[in-house]
Structure 1
Amino acid sequence: MAVLEELINKTQMLKGILEGCVLKILNEKSCYSQELVQTLRERGFENISEGTLFPLLLRLENEGLFETKKVQSSLGPNRKYYSLSSKGKDELAEFIGVWNEFKLTVDHILRTTGD
């Protein structure tokens, strides 16, 4: 049971971190979902898939964190581009603050804990 709880906790932590990373990337540039997956892979999330990302994008869009627009593609159907709304920018700033506190705490524990 402890292994299952650990897996669930890691999954939840990853979702929160992924959300913050998505907000940061979309603050830098507007992207459609496949482009966002590629950027995440290039920046270290090698195993991320569009299937993992899509529910997150839908939830964040429903929360009003994105502005979206459809852009015609010469390669097929229109692409939905995501960019941060002002609410998304506020959420990103909050994530960065929480992340920095969290990172400082964990770094401190890792430096001071004896083996």
Structure 2
Amino acid sequence: MNWNHLTSKDQIDQIKTGSANKPALIFKHSTRCSISAMAENRLERSWVEQEISSMDVYHLDLIRHRGLSDHIAQVFNIPHESPQVLIIFDGACIYHNSHMGIAYHEIKRVFESLTAA
């Protein structure tokens, strides 16, 4: 996966604006959590760039940027979890899941439903 690393609140504003044209994925990862490491590894191993090439993907290190995670929860009105994946489209979170619910096939399904319209 070609991650864009989230480090500032300004990037969240850019994601909201940019999601009017194409969906964005945010993966919130705790470097201190084995479940988070497993979810990240499963996602990276399953990811097929050609299937979801027009989705921007963002990675948030929760340990370094916990305040940014709280900001994301507030902006998109989604409770904070870790690990967590969010799909942002048209400025809103249209899908989120956490822990073992983070699955490439679900992300792909949501992405395909957006691009089929």
Question: Which of the five TM-score ranges fits, normalised by the shorter chain?
Answer: under 0.3
TM-score normalised by structure 2 residue count? 0.27
TM-score, with structure 1 as normaliser:
0.27
For the pair shown, which has the larger CA radius of gyration, 1 or 2?
1
| Structure of higher RCO (CA pairs closer than 8 Å, 6+ residues apart) | 2
